A = this chain, B = another copy of it.
């Protein structure tokens, strides 16, 4: 309903796109602190590829932003706003008729994935998705190791709810997940994993 909400607030066609956090292209020699962003770009490119080839339709949900002030005298310029926490995961969509929902996380540690990276509402959301027969998973990148894993949401939820450990050890991720070798296009090809784990 953007047309009704933001008269004049939509960027005029032809105007140069402004930088947004989700669209930045980073070069390859980025600082470690920015690797999360880079992973997001790679996932977005993977999703773009799947849509172009009409293999699946996945989109990143926009980052929710809480708007405080808008200057309508200048074409709906937002002058005060704050980032909010996503109440769901970052990505969802459809593959072969199935609802698919996932979250991508890039971390710097080498030995385990700290559960503190997953807010409770993402666990609650993914539990709801599984209850309604959707497919849920995490894509976890160990940036320093340059390794990416597909982890089913069911495994992460179980681990999270047992509360025995604050981090999932790499060995557990290797045992219960699937490693994804980086490619050119798509960057991280996870559809074969969906086929194998959920659609056989």
Residues of A within 8 A of B (CB): 1-6, 9-11, 17-21, 36-37, 39-40, 51, 54, 56-57, 59, 61-68, 75-88, 90, 92-101, 103-106, 117, 119, 125, 128-129, 131-134
A59, A84, A103, A125: which has the most chain B beta carbons within 10 Å?
A: A84
- The residue on B at minimum CB distance from A132 is B94
- The residue on B at minimum CB distance from A101 is B94
Chain B nearest CB from A64 CB (Å) reads 4
- CB pair B37–A117 under 8 Å, yes or no, is no
- The residue on B at minimum CB distance from A40 is B1
Chain B nearest CB from A32 CB (Å) reads 11
- CB pair B54–A131 under 8 Å, yes or no, is yes
- CB pair A61–B63 under 8 Å, yes or no, is no
